[in-house]
Amino acid sequence: MKKAMTSIKAIFGLLPIAVASVVGVVTFGAVQASASGGQPSRAEDTNRCTMAVPQVRATVEVRLPHASDFCEIASQALAGDVFRAPVLVNPGVLWHYSGATLSCRLRYRKTQDSMTVRQSAAACHWLLRHGRGWHTEAPVGAGTA
């Protein structure tokens, strides 16, 4: 763990704690869901949230256990590393700007945990780079010719 923090600190400078927290929360939440068979908890509203960047009309819709906590931490890292603008957090709600372009859909391993990113390919790349076990998911209707 000490080596991981040193590497993160070397790469991200002043954001080591935020990045380590994001990776930890993403991994913890997804592993917890895997252990429970991906079943939703009773506190459904804490298992979804939306991060929004009004300046560029980008959103990240998050569906995973403790999503509200994840969004609070991830929004700070995304604000500094990706958007360089304030990121608003809407716990318990999934939404996106009308007409926003789908950038990617991410899924954690073979669980139901997912993130939908709109209007920001950079956020997709950042989330994939920092979240172990996350992969892009083919858009609905894609893959058959």
Which of 74, 107, 106, 104 shows the shortest CA–CA distance to 88? 74
Domain ranges for the chain: 2-136
What tens digit of pLDDT does each residue of 10-25 get?
Answer: 333 334 444 444 444 4
What tens digit of pLDDT does each residue of 44-80 get?
Answer: 589 999 999 999 999 999 999 999 999 999 999 999 9
DSSP E strand stretches across the chain? 48-53, 58-63, 88-91, 102-108, 114-118, 134-136
Asked if the model's pLDDT at residue 123 lies above 80, the reply is yes
Which of 75, 64, 73, 77 shows the shortest CA–CA distance to 33? 64
Q: Tokens standing for 52?
A: 């929004």
Residue type, 138: A
pTM for the full predicted model: 0.69
Asked if the model's pLDDT at residue 6 lies above 60, the reply is no
